[in-house]
Amino acid sequence: MPLISPSMLSSNFVRLEQELEMINNSEADWIHLDVMDGRFVPNITFGMPVVAAMKKVARKPLDVHLMIVEPEKYFEGFAKAGADILTVHYEASVHLHRSLQVIKQLGMKAGVALNPHTPVTMLTDVLQDIDVVLMMSVNPGFGGQQFIDQTTFRIRQLKHMINEQGARTLIEVDGGVTLENATTLVKCGVDVLVAGNTVFASADPADTIKKLKAVGK
């Protein structure tokens, strides 16, 4: 069964506490938080104060995805805010190996996100140092986009690399994940499904999480 990480970007920010309590009481495993700076991606969301506020309510690990330039400046701040998993973009990290080491030294799991155009082979030499690879199956910046079909090939390619190296790296996919394509993604090798609109736009978000969690049983 995959891990499920509902994306708070698609939640109702006016009811943030209630949305978090719904996730707390659901079969979700993580809580996905998209941090955007308006520079790396053309959108602005929230930063450390909001993450810290969510941490007070959340009873599941905070899966924090940094879509920002110079992410290394903020590692300590997000650690203090309560991030459990901290993911940086390959495209925004000049010294990726160093960043991964610092994230782990701060007590968090280290993730690397890849944009749709970035070859998965770029991670060959650091794969053993990565806890989670976040495959972007849409162009980052906005929720509700359509899944890019080429992603399934890239997931299989990454899974082969992980198996070949005997790494324990998890594969997470973010963007356009639905109840319809979740089974295919898990069969391709995905360990963690990030779902935003699929969960929060549904009539019964907790039941949708349950159905996603049941994929691959």
pLDDT in tens, 49-82: 999 999 999 999 999 999 999 999 999 999 999 9
Dihedral of alpha carbons 6, 8, 13, 19, sign: positive
Nearest to 84 by CA among 61, 68, 115: 61
In the block, tokens 């203090």 appear at 80
Of the candidates 34, 37, 129, 191, the residue annotated as catalytic is 34
pLDDT given at position 141:
65
Three-state secondary structure call for residue 25: coil
Per the annotation, the verdict on 84 as an active-site residue is no
Q: Would you state the pLDDT for residue 85?
A: 98
Tens digits of residue pLDDT in 194-209:
999 999 999 999 999 9
Side-chain-side CA neighbours of 128 within 13 Å: the count stands at: 4
Total structural domains within the chain: 1
Name 129's Cβ contacts closer than 8 Å, sequence gap at least 6: 97, 100, 101, 110
Average pLDDT value for the chain? 95
The pLDDT value given to residue 138:
87
Which one from 63, 129, 174, 191 is the annotated catalytic residue? 174
Mark whether 174 is an active-site residue: yes
Domain of 12? 3-213
- Partnered with residue 210 across adjacent β-strands are none
**CATH number, domain containing residue 43:** 3.20.20.70
Q: What is the pLDDT of residue 37?
A: 95
Nearest Cα residue to 90 out of 119, 47, 64: 119
CB 177, CB 195: distance < 8 Å: yes
> Which parts of the chain have pLDDT scores under 50?
none
